[in-house]
Structure 1
Amino acid sequence: MTSWSPDWHAPADALQCLVDWGASPRLLHHHQMVLQAAQALSAALKAAAVAHDAQWMAMGAALHDVGKLLYVQEVSGPGSEHEAAGEALLLKAGVPAHLARCCVTHGQWQNCEALESLCVALADRLWRGARCPELELRVIDAAAERKGCDRWSIWSPLEDTFEAIAAEGPARLQASRSCADR
C-alpha cells in the first residue's frame, strides 16, 4: 500500500493513490464526480466571499469513500462500515486527521461542524442529483457564520449552485453505471 506523501496537495494525487490501492473504475469515477461537485461548491463559496479551505474540500471529496476498498459490497449497495474503516486506513497511511475524518463525516454529517466537511457530505449527495434540504441548510448556515452574515445574504447563490450540481446528476449516474460495466 502506498503511503501518503506530505508533498501531495492536489486531488489528482489522492485519486492516483486510490488507483494504486486497487480502486475499481466505478469507485474511482464516484470519487471524481464527488470531487467535481465539491469544487463547484468551493467556487460558489469563493464567489460569495466565504473563507474556506478549498484544498480540504477537494482532498476530502477525493478520499471520502476509500473504505469501500475494504467493503467492496458497499460500492454498489448500502452500508456504512466503509466510513470508520476508511478513516482508519487513511490515518494508517499518514493522511492528516482532518482529511481522514471526511470518511466518517460524509455519512454522519449531523454531528459535524466544519464547513469543509459539510460540503464534502453535500457534494456526495448532489453529484447524483439528490437534494438534502437539512444538509443544505447546515452548509448555508455554516457559510453564513464563517462570513459573519445572516443566511439570507448568501442563500440565493448557494441554492443556485446546489440546484445546478443536482441538475446534472442523472447524466453523472448514467456515466457511473457504464463504469460498472468495465
Structure 2
Amino acid sequence: MTNTTLLRALHDPGDPPCRPLPTPVDDLLLALAAPPRLAAHLRVVHDVAHQLVMWTEQHHPELPFDREAVLFGAATHDIGKVVHAAELSGPGSAHEEAGRELLLAHGVRPELARFAGTHAAWTDPGIQVEDLLVSTADKVWKNKRVPELENLLVARLSAASGQPAWEVFLALDEALERIGDGATHRLAFQSAYPVHG
C-alpha cells in the first residue's frame, strides 16, 4: 500500500512552488517507503541546488561542472536517514555512510552515491565543486551561512573565472542572501510532513 503522506511530500507543488525530485529519486523513495519529512527535505534542498546551479551557469559559464550530478546529489544527500530516521529530528552522522551504501546497493554509480557522505565532509581532500554546491544548498535552504564552506566555493569560482575573490564573494553572497530569504517557506513545507509515515 502506498503511503499517501509520502506521495503528497513528493508531489505537492508547495507555496511558493518547489521543484519535483528527479524521477529515479522519486521512485527510489517510494520503493524505500521513505519518511515523508525526508522526502520534503530532499525536495527543498534539491530546489535550492537548482537555483545555485542556474546562478553558477549564469555568472560562471567558464566553470566546468556536472549539473546533473549536483541536482542528483542534492536530491539524495540525506537518503541514509531512511535507515537512521532518528537523525531526521536530531543530530547524527550515521546516515552519511548508510546513504552511500544504500544508493550503491540500488545501482547508483559511486560518483553519484558519494554525495550522501560528502555533503557533510566538504573539507576532505578530493572534494569537487559539485560537492561544494550540494553542501552549500544543504545549508542555505534554511538560511544557514557557513563562511568556511562559502570561501571554498568562492576560491573555486575565482580560480575558474580569473575574477578577484572579493568580487566573486560579493556576487555569491547576494545570491545566497536572496535564496536564504525563502527559508521560512521551505521550513514550513518540510515541517508540514511527519517524521514517520
Q: Taking structure 2 as the reference length, what is the TM-score of the superposition?
A: 0.81
Query: Alignment partner for residue 85 of structure 1, among 98, 112, 116?
Result: 98
120, 125, 141: which one pairs with 2:134? 120
State how far apart, in whole Å, the 2-side matches of 1:125 and 1:15 are.
Answer: 22
Which protein is richer in helix relative to its size?
Answer: 1
Residues 60-111 of structure 1: per-residue CA shift (max 9 Å, x gap): 0011111001001011111000001111111122211121110111111111
Counterpart CA distance in 1 for 2:170 and 2:89 is 34
Match of 1:106 among 80, 102, 119: 119
Shift, 1:153, TM fit = 4.1
Please state if 1:30 is matched with 2:44. no
- Give the residue type in structure 2 aligned to 1:133: P
RMSD: 1.7
Q: Which amino acid aligns with 2:75?
A: A
Q: Secondary structure at the match of 1:179?
A: coil
Which residue is equivalent to 1:165? 179
Q: Which runs of 5+ in 1 are unaligned?
A: 1-9
**Identity of counterpart residues, as a percentage?**
33
Match of 1:56 in 2: 69
Report the Cα distance in structure 1 between the residues aligned to 2:161 and 2:144, rounded to whole angstroms. 26
Report the residue type matching 2:102 in the other structure: L
Count of residues paired in the alignment: 173
Displacement of 1:170 = 1.8
Per-residue CA deviations over 1:106-157 (Å, capped at 9, x if unaligned) read 1111115200111101101111111111111111112222334432343232
Write the letter of the residue equivalent to 1:34. V
**TM-score normalised by length of structure 1:** 0.88
Kindly indicate whether the alpha-carbon contact (under 8 Å) linking 1:129 and 1:167 is maintained by their aligned counterparts in 2: yes
Cα deviation code 1:8-27 (max 9, x no counterpart): xx823213311221112110
Q: Which amino acid aligns with 1:123?
A: A
Establish whether residue 40 from structure 1 lines up as the match of residue 51 from structure 2: yes
Describe the SS at the equivalent of 1:130.
coil
